[in-house]
């Protein structure tokens, strides 16, 4: 069975600090997809990144970076030099090749960036 | 353009009312989804339409009735709801290629049932 665990329920940091959001997943499939979504207070889930199980390259997009490690079943997300606008709930999610339309979400991490 | 629109943004209804939520996308996606999200919880999948056919129904009560009139539109008809149905209802769409299904979400409808 699939499972996504985001152990950090809430994180609060001061602006300009770096922050890492942890995501650990479980799946029996060899082909699967991992996602990060951002949900600001307005409610919309904003897609940030998709990574498939065959691509373990880390990715950097501006201040955002993602570290995918199959050996530890983790897909962590780091925000460098955080800003107040980064305050949101962040969800990690998993889908499998069989049943790719079913996204399994973690419980989310509420990130607060204080000025 | 990765825009999914939803109307209305907010809805208050009584338990005897009938109302509908609407969702629209113009990205050429052939899969559309309804999710329910309670406060401080992740979204829960309700329904999936692929090529305008209902492909997934996550055992949702019949007081929620989805409809997909065409490939761009998705409705959720509501009838005889309960206060516990109050939540954020999110619509999403994806290409429906059968793999690598990145779902793009709308802003949601905040529903309050009195």
Of the candidates B42, B50, B94, the beta carbon closest to that of A91 is on: B42
Using pLDDT thresholds of 50, 70 and 90, give the confidence band for residue B98: low
Contact flag B102-A47 (C-beta cutoff 8 Å): yes
Cα–Cα dist A77/A92, whole Å? 9
pLDDT digits (tens, 9 = 90+) for B34-77: 999 999 999 999 999 999 999 889 999 999 999 999 999 999 99
What contacts 24+ positions apart, CB below 8 Å, involve B106-109? B106/A44, B106/B4, B106/B5, B106/B6, B106/B23, B106/B25, B107/A42, B107/A43, B107/A44, B107/B5, B107/B6, B107/B9, B108/A43, B108/A44, B108/B6, B108/B9, B108/B37, B109/B6, B109/B7, B109/B8, B109/B9, B109/B10, B109/B11, B109/B21
- How far from the centroid of its chain's Cα atoms is residue A76's Cα? 6
Q: List the structure tokens of B3.
A: 């825009």
pLDDT of residue B2: 63
Distance from CA of A36 to the nearest CA of B (A): 11
pLDDT digits (tens, 9 = 90+) for A23-82: 999 999 999 999 999 999 989 999 999 999 998 888 889 999 999 999 999 999 999 999
Contact flag A42-B107 (C-beta cutoff 8 Å): yes
């Amino acid at each position: 069975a699939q499972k996504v665990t985001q152990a950090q329920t809430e994180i609060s940091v001061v602006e300009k600090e770096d922050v890492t959001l942890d995501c650990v997943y479980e799946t029996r499939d060899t082909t699967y997809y991992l996602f990060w979504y951002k949900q600001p207070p307005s409610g919309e889930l904003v897609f940030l990144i998709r990574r498939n199980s065959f691509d373990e390259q880390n990715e950097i997009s501006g201040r955002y970076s993602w570290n995918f490690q199959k050996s530890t079943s983790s897909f962590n997300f780091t925000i460098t030099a955080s800003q107040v606008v980064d305050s949101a709930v962040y969800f990690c999610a998993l889908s499998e090749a069989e049943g790719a339309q079913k996204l399994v979400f973690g419980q989310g991490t509420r990130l607060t960036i204080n000025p | 353009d990765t825009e999914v629109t939803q109307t209305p943004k907010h809805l208050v209804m009584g338990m005897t009312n009938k109302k509908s939520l609407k969702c629209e996308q113009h990205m050429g996606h052939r899969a559309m989804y309804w999710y329910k999200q309670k406060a401080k919880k992740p979204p829960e999948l309700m329904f999936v339409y692929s090529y305008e056919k209902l492909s997934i129904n996550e055992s949702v009560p019949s007081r929620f009735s989805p409809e997909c009139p065409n490939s761009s539109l998705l409705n959720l008809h509501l009838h005889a709801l309960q206060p516990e149905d109050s939540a954020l209802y999110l619509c999403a769409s994806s290409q429906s290629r059968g793999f690598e299904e990145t779902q793009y979400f709308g802003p949601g409808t905040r529903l309050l049932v009195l």
